Amino acid sequence: MFTARTLAPLRVAARTQPSAFRGALAIRSISFWGNVPQGPPAILGITEAFKADKFDQKINLGVGAYRDDQGKPFVLPSVLEAEKRIIDRKADKEYAGITGVPAFTKAAALLAYGADSAPLKEDRIAITQSISGTGALRLGAAFLERFYPFAKTVYIPNPSWANHGAIFKDAGLSVEKYRYYNKDTIGLDFEGLIADIKAAPKHSVFLLHACAHNPTGIDPTEAQWRSISDAVKAGEHYAFFDMAYQGFASGDTDKDAFAIRHFVKEGHEIALCQSFAKNMGLYGERVGAFSIVTSSAEEKKRVDSQVKILVRPLYSNPPINGARIASEILNDSALNTKWLGEVKGMADRIISMRAALKKNLEELGSKHDWSHITSQIGMFCYTGLKPEQVKRLAQEFSVYGTADGRISVAGITSKNVRRLAESIHKVTSS
């Protein structure tokens, strides 16, 4: 233990020794992290601004989590029932295997690919539990970086979820963009999308949002998906799907899986990332899955072995609680039926809020065409608002959204939709 008496000689030595000695002592006080730059503000910055606002009728349209019509977080009754059953069984807390809870991954694959899926029947799908959709994407990116035999470049839609580019780049992949959003029509740039797929080098990797495109809410039609599949196949490209909203988009889990199932039926050996954050409300439980369709059961075994090798040094094995909840819901017929009804209820509320916002804007006499609000789907809506209009919404009306005009429709309620419409009308009329 150092005391004033033991430290005194050191202080004298520091004063009397040559400058080199004093410099050596000074070096020890330099921070190792002094060169770390401040990162840019994220979506969470919107939440902080919202919290600091004292206006009692403020509206937060920034963060992508479902809210009920009272603006409150919603825990699904099916989730509560599943949790109760798990507790009553007094299940242990042992580690899951490297690829997760088997009953969950089997059910997740069935939900995505469908009971009549040939690769599923033929045991050609390698699947692992992941740390929600983000973890699935990161694991998939690592697999591509290590094993994809062609150019390590991933094409993502412009725009895409903000984290997509970061995930692929951090895994060592290059990222390019393909056309997706037409700002003039506030709709899909289908011609540009197809042209970019055709122009890409052979064997390129294309990230595709299976449903409820984030951030635009603009999805291809089924006919357009068929054309996209044909273009991907013609270029011998690889389809990498992100499906974070199955069931949450239309209210129908089969309809929302159309693109996945069509691509697989057409012979694409896709990669798929699934999340159960939105459709089960398991945000903080971090429940997801990553799967790869292979050409044979033997190839599946090899792919599965390498996925395990990737997982082991990352996090060893995934958490069990959320996977057990999802497994209980997916594997119990009565509970599954209840959950499907709840998913449809959430989707229907989002759809009804879109219709109400459009109706109120029209009733207020807005001269703008707001049809895109109801033609888009899912939690997010690309409003077409300009950055300066979004800024005015926050500063003058306490309505908070992202600078690109994206709003989370889940933040709209029957109580605030009129005031939201009035605020939008005011900033778009002057």
Which candidate in 278, 339, 358, 370 is catalytic? Answer: 278
Q: For 213-258, what is each residue's pLDDT tens digit?
A: 999 999 999 999 999 999 999 999 999 999 999 999 999 999 999 9
E-only strand ranges, 11-90: 59-60
What percent of the chain clears pLDDT 90, i.e. is strictly above it?
87
Distance CA 151, CA 127 (A): 24
Question: How confident is the model over 65-115, as pLDDT tens digits?
Answer: 999 999 999 999 999 999 999 999 999 999 999 999 999 999 999 999 999
> CA 70 → CA 260, 411, 412, 416, distances in Å?
34, 9, 9, 10
Is residue 284 within 8 A of residue 291, CB to CB? The reply is: no
Share of the chain above pLDDT 70, in %: 92
Q: Which of 161, 225, 339, 370 is catalytic?
A: 161
pLDDT digits (tens, 9 = 90+) for 339-372: 999 999 999 999 999 999 999 999 999 999 999 9
The confidence score (pLDDT) of residue 46 equals 81
* Residue range 381-388: mean pLDDT, rounded: 94
CB 372 within 8 A of CB 382: yes
> What is the mean predicted confidence (pLDDT) over 170-184?
96
Catalytic: 225? Answer: no
- Give the pLDDT confidence of 281-305 residue by residue, as tens digits: 999 999 999 999 999 999 999 999 9
- Residue 28 above 80 pLDDT? no
Q: Which of the four pLDDT bands, split at 50, 70 and 90, describes residue 48?
A: confident
Query: Average pLDDT in the 387-391 region?
Result: 95
Classify strands 125-131 and 59-60 as parallel, antiparallel or unpaired.
Answer: unpaired
> What is the β-pairing status of strands 287-293 and 271-275?
antiparallel
Q: Is 242 a catalytic residue?
A: yes
**What's the start-to-end Cα distance of the chain, in Å?**
71
* β-strand partners of 292: 126, 271
Task: Output the average pLDDT for the chain.
Answer: 92
Give dist(CA 366, CA 388) in Å, integer: 18
76 phi and psi, to 5 degrees? -65, 135
Contact 329, 335 (CB under 8 A): yes
- pLDDT at residue 3, rounded to an integer: 52
* pLDDT score, position 21: 46
**Phi–psi pair at 274, nearest 5 degrees:** -115, 145
**Which residue carries 């089924």 as its tokens?**
222
User: DSSP letters along 94-138, please?
Assistant: PPPBTTB-HHHHHHHHHHHH-TT-HHHHTT-EEEEEEEHHHHHHH
Let me know: does 358 contact 374? Beta carbons within 8 Å.
Answer: yes
141: pLDDT strictly greater than 70: yes
Looking at residues 378-404, what average pLDDT do you find? Answer: 93
Specify the pLDDT at position 10: 44
pLDDT score at 321:
97
Across the range 148-164, mean pLDDT stands at 96
Check 242, 256, 358, 370 and give the catalytic one. 242
Report the largest interatomic distance among the alpha carbons of the chain, rounded to a whole angstrom.
84
Asked if the model's pLDDT at residue 24 lies above 80, the reply is no
* 367 is a catalytic site residue: no
Instruction: Work out the burial of residue 95: count CB atoms within 10 Å of its CB; fewer than 13 is exposed, 13-18 middle, 19 or more buried.
Output: exposed
Give the residue carrying structure tokens 């970086």: 145
Pick from 308, 425, 302, 294: which is nearest to 367 by CA?
425
Q: DSSP letter for 294, please.
A: -
Q: pLDDT band at residue 13, thresholds of 50, 70 and 90?
A: very low
pLDDT reading at 58 higher than 70: yes
Mean pLDDT of 199-218: 96
The pLDDT score that the predictor gives to residue 44 is 58
- Give alpha helix (H) positions in 205-332: 222-234, 253-256, 258-265, 277-280, 297-315, 321-331
